[in-house]
Every structure is written in C-alpha cells, then in structure tokens.
Structure 1
Amino acid sequence: MLFTDVYPREPEPMKSLHELTAKHPWNVMATSTDEGQFLSMLLKLIKAKNAMEIGVYTGYSLLATALALTQDGKILAMDINRENYEQGLPIIQNAGVSHKIDFREGPALPVLDQMIEDGKYHGTFHFIFVDADKDNYLNYHKRIIELVKVGGVIGYDNTLWNGSVVAPPDAPLRKYVRFYRDFVLELNWDLAVDPRIEICQLPVGDGITLCRRIS
C-alpha cells in the first residue's frame, strides 16, 4: 500500500477505502491506488456501462469502477468472501454508487457457466476485471471471452506476479509466489496467442494485462 499523499486526485471515497483496507490483515491483496486511477480513466475512455468484477476483496477496484460508470451503469461483482466486501460497503454506499452493484457471494465459475447457458449475456459486457484465484484465470478466460462484447475489454490483474514471471526458475521466491507463478505464466502465454484478442501488458500495480476482444 502506498501513501495517499502522492495521489492528490484520488477521490475521497476511494481514499477512505484505501485507508480502511491498509488496516486489514490481508492488505497485500489490495488494488494499488495507481491501478485504481488507471481503471477509472480506462472505463471513462471506453464509456463502459455494463461491467463485471471477479474478485472483490474490500471493494477498492469495485468502487473505482462504480464511480467511473454512468449513473445507469451496472456491475456484477463476485467474491467468495462477503465479509471483506461488507467492510468496505459503508464507504461505497456513502459514495452513492451501491445501487450499481450486484454482489454475489460464492465461486464465479458456476455463475459464468449459467450466464453462458442462458445465452442472453453473450457479448453484453463492456469491461470485465479479474483479480481472483490465479489458478483459475484460464478457466475464467474461456468463459468471459464469450460474455465481453466485441470491442470490449478484459483486465487481468497481477500478470507480473511480483516480477516472478521473468525470474529464473531457481530464483528464491516466497512460497505462495512460486506456487501461483506457473498459472500466471500459462495465462500470459495463452493470451499472447489468442487470436480473438489484442493485448497490452502494463507495469501498473503488480501488472495488468488488457485484452480487447476483436472477434
């Protein structure tokens, strides 16, 4: 977590949620403030209205998304832990954007499978942000590529994974970093050769890969 003093334009609700999250024992999971600003700018540029977020935590990136969408915008937000989300919810409510959020507790894959089976959600999302279990990133991609519209954007967080994606195989790494590194590497390779998307990997936060669906 970086000091907020260097981000004078961070909206007050986001600053409050940032400070709350910094006190949480799992704050290593938090979206960085620079990434929050980046997502906000991106969503405004693409004029996103219908969004999805897989992996919410306390809701910092979710709040950035909700603030950036139009008043009639909607976000489907999924996380296995409602308790973390509810810690940030009062701030989201005070920001006046909670009406945009449809939060669902539980694994995202069954929800995605049901949406695909229903058929009516194909190509309906302008933006989808994934910041969840890295070992399922490819499983998410196989599904959400059908749900994002042509011209829409998918963002995968943590694709630099503490810099481990360019580290030698025998580099000393923390246990959890080493465990998930191969999953992140596999995602990066698969995205690089997926003909349905254009990609751009940016060194924002812990790395974010943007995928624009082209077919």
Structure 2
Amino acid sequence: MAETKNPVLTPELYAYILAHNPPLDPVQRDLVELTRTRFADSAGLQTAEEQGPLLAFLVRLVGARNVVEVGTFTGFSALSMARALPPDGRLIACDVSEEWTAVAREAWHKAGVADRVDLRIAPALETLRALPDEPWIDLSFLDADKGNYPAYWEELVRRTRPGGLIVADNTLYRGQVADPAATGAAAAVRAFNDLVRDDDRVEAVLLTVADGVTVARRLDQG
C-alpha cells in the first residue's frame, strides 16, 4: 500500500503555511472575515485561504486573459484571479445567488477589478452553453454543485485552449471519495475524479490542497 508523506495538518502547521504564502491584501482579508460573520452557516463554501494565492499564481503562470469561474459565492476566488489578470483580462463568474454575489460585487469594486469581472446570474450550465463554442478559455475554476461537475467539465474542456487549465475544487470531498460506498455529493465527486483521470483530452493531477484540488491541462489534440 502506498504511504503518505503528508504531515498532520495541525493549526500551527496551517498557520505556518499561510505565513509562507503570498499574504492576502486588505480587501481579500476583509472579504474572508465578512463572509465568516455574515454567512456563518454557509461560510464553508468559501474557497480556502491558501487557494487564493494558488489561483492567482496559476492565472499568471499561463498568462491568462480569459477566465471562467463556476460557483462564485461571495467572490474570494474571483477576486484573487481578477487581481492576477492583466488590465484587459476578463473573468466570467457564474452563480445563482444575488445575495452572495452582492458582497462579491462590493469587494471587486473596492479592489478596483470590477471592470474585469462579468458576473452572470443564471444556472451555470445555461451560461456555459451560451459561450463561444471554440477553444478560447485560458483558465477555469470549478467550485459549484458537485452533481453537475461532469456536465460543467464537458462544457469547459471543449472551450479550453491547448495548454489552458481547468481547476476543480473539493475533489477529495472531506476524504469520503476513497469510500466505494460513498453516497450523495461524495459519490458524485468520486465519479468525477474517475472521469477526469480517464479523459484523454487532458493531463491532470489531484493535489492534497485544502479539500482537494485537481489541476488539468488541456492537451493539443492536433
């Protein structure tokens, strides 16, 4: 059996990790805290703090100008990516909640990136299927309802340029994906992970970041 090299993530170690990542700027920090207080019952939907710098790093790494996000919540991940975009970059953010994204809009405005974010309030599949049906997306971030991950994946992969990235969150789903008897969202993510692994249009790695992050690179199909 394979043995993990992952240390136990204690509060002290987690604080150490955050201290050795790029720090959140004041708008990001305020947004994290506001989400925890105003939406305490739903705060778990917020992208983990260490994922903000990671997403920004990936945007810069691929020189992204066109980004799509599926599942925006209060806007932390979108803010992190928009900050990393060039002035003429665009991020299409898909969500269904006016209440949550009102907080996001305010944060984007404060950060001076509101002009880079195109928020679309509608079922994400409708939004994705209305996008140009050609390879033009540089990077996408998937963090929405798990049952629809395969459908979102298909719409994103076909529109991602060769070398572009698709990043999916919660791909360990609280560790429950290792259980063959998993049900509900955990079973959906387990099936999604198999789908990604077997998709010959991409190469992908599943990382033990936060609740699991899969990073897939679109291959050139010739």
Structure 1 residue ranges without an equivalent (≥5) = 171-177
Residue 166 (structure 1) aligned with residue 171 (structure 2): no
Query: Which residue matches 2:196?
Result: 191
Moved more, 2-11 or 121-130: 2-11
The superposition leaves residues 72-107 of structure 1 with CA deviations (integer Å, 9 ceiling, x where unpaired) of 110111101121011232221010000001101110
Pick from 140, 146, 155: which aligns with 2:167? 155
* Aligned residues between the structures: 203
Query: Which residue matches 1:21?
Result: 35
Please report the TM-score for the alignment, with normalisation by the length of structure 2. 0.86
The residue type equivalent to 1:74 in the other structure is: R
CA distance in 1, matches of 2:201, 2:190: 19
CA distance in 2, matches of 1:191, 1:126: 18
Q: Is the 8 A contact 2:138 2:161 kept in 1?
A: yes
Query: Which residue matches 1:205?
Result: 210
CA distance in 2, matches of 1:132, 1:188: 15
C-alpha displacement at 1:36, in angstroms? 1.0
The residue type equivalent to 2:169 in the other structure is: D
Query: Which residue matches 1:78?
Result: 94
The residue type equivalent to 1:64 in the other structure is: S
The superposition leaves residues 165-204 of structure 1 with CA deviations (integer Å, 9 ceiling, x where unpaired) of 124637xxxxxxx421111011000110110000011111
Residue 59 (structure 1) aligned with residue 64 (structure 2): no
Pick from 61, 78, 103: which aligns with 1:45? 61
Pick from 80, 99, 110: which aligns with 2:115? 99
CA distance in 1, matches of 2:148, 2:123: 11
CA distance in 1, matches of 2:137, 2:32: 27
Superposed structure 1 runs of 4+ greater than 4 Å apart: 2-6
What secondary structure does 2:203 align onto?
Answer: strand
The residue type equivalent to 2:153 in the other structure is: H
Please report the TM-score for the alignment, with normalisation by the length of structure 1. 0.89
Moved more, 35-44 or 188-197: 35-44
Query: Which residue matches 2:155?
Result: 143
CA distance in 2, matches of 1:88, 1:196: 33
CA distance in 1, matches of 2:90, 2:130: 19
Query: Which residue matches 2:145?
Result: 133
Alignment RMSD, CA only? 1.9
Query: Which residue matches 2:135?
Result: 123
Q: Is the 8 A contact 2:59 2:81 kept in 1?
A: yes
CA distance in 2, matches of 1:153, 1:147: 11
- Indicate how the Cα distance of structure 1 residues 5 and 181 shifts in structure 2: closer, same or farther if over 3 A, else same: closer
Residue 10 (structure 1) aligned with residue 15 (structure 2): no
Identity of aligned residues (%): 32
The residue type equivalent to 1:203 in the other structure is: T
Query: Which residue matches 1:174?
Result: none
